[in-house]
Amino acid sequence: MRVLITGGGTGGHIYPAIAIAERLKKDFRPLELVYVGSKNGMEKDIVPKKGITYVGMDVAPLNKKLSRKTFKAIGTLFKGLWQANRLIKRFKPDVIIGTGGYVAGSLVMVGALRGVPSAIHEQNAYPGLTNRILSRFVDYIMVSFEDSKVHFKHPEKVIYTGMPILDTYFSTSREQSRTKLGIADEEMLIVTVGGSNGAMKLNQVMLSSYHQFSEIKNIKFIHQSGTRYYPYVMEDIKNGIYEVGDNVKILGYIKEMHVYLNAADLVISRAGASTINEIIASKAPSVIIPSPNVANNHQLLNAQLMDKYGMGVVIKEEDLNEELMVHTIQDFNKDPSKLNIMRQNCEKMDLSKTLDAISAVIRKLTD
């Protein structure tokens, strides 16, 4: 079987695509699989390291305001469509799978119009623009949340599968993870994650809060700043703008996220769909701060589902400040039973069957 899989722009599109690709390698023999991403996106560095054949295409977002950039983006769009058509004619895929992002839009659209069996996967509670457009043309629409079905105009195509998560989230135990990170049983580990690109407001609030815990030795912090913010964060710490104790470790990017989330007693995070599903898969209690700077406020909708099922506490960014964050952490430290309740609620959500469901959909495409 020949498969083109595509998704890019953010980790939220890339890692679900990688999870699907790795599962296809196990379920379909023989298999020729190519991952199609942007020539300049972060996926061009991530995907080849997973041992997956990679092809880059030209991609550019369309600006809402008319300008010279708009015309340049339109030119890039048509170039990408031409590249997609050429790749499909040459590779002759049996199936095309898209997980979102501008690059997925071009490839899946061309493939569907050429009659190639195709499916998309939507990670968020409210679907992105690319997938809302593609839903009219593809054979199947796979979704991470039951609640998102109502947002598609062709409900007969929609199949609830859940979010594809890498197998490592299920095969790595809490004990293994804490041992690897050197966290003792009696220590409380708090992991802060601002998404693959980092989050400025979350960085500022957490960095301002750490000094209040410098004398509490049983609490350990691991803080992912995001690669783009890391140099500035470290410079601010060096210049004394933020007081960070020995119990805080700052990282620009976390490669083995499954280890950190499985080890955590509490995760403080944005509400990207991939991230919150990885948190659920790791059975980690969480404080979720949805980003207000995303289309259709989909992070808030993702976060509300966490709150609805008692798996996390939601704080809106407009309410987020040092005082509230310090109080929240102190409260959980004094009463760990609240963390245990969230962990138990996460355990009720079985995400381990998601890739089984996705594999079944892809098999239907080839029947």
Binding-site annotation, residues for UDP-N-acetyl-alpha-D-glucosamine:
10-12, 124, 196, 254, 299
Place of tokens 């750490």: 210
Task: Work out the number of other CB atoms within 10 angstroms of the CB of residue 129.
Answer: 13
Distance of CA 299 to the CA centre of its chain: 11
Between 354-366 and 11-27, two packed helices, what is the crossing angle to 10 degrees? Answer: 70
Q: Are the CB atoms for 93 and 4 separated by under 8 Å?
A: yes
The partner residues of 118 in beta bridges, in order of sequence, read 96
Pairing assessment for the beta strands 53-57 and 286-288 based on DSSP bridges:
unpaired
- The length of the chain in residues reads 367
Q: Are the CB atoms for 62 and 74 separated by under 8 Å?
A: yes
Q: Are the CB atoms for 322 and 209 separated by under 8 Å?
A: yes
Q: Are the CB atoms for 311 and 342 separated by under 8 Å?
A: yes
Annotation: binding site = 10-12, 124, 196, 254, 299
The 10 Å CB-count burial string (b at 16+, else e) for 328-357 is bbeebbeeeeebeebbebbeeeebeebbee
| Closest by CA position to 303, among listed 147, 90, 134 | 147
Backbone angles phi, psi at 333, to 5 degrees: -65, -40
- CA dist 259 and 277 (Å) reads 15
DSSP state of 293: S
Q: Are the CB atoms for 98 and 120 separated by under 8 Å?
A: yes
Task: Work out the number of other CB atoms within 10 angstroms of the CB of residue 90.
Answer: 8
End-to-end CA distance of the chain: 12
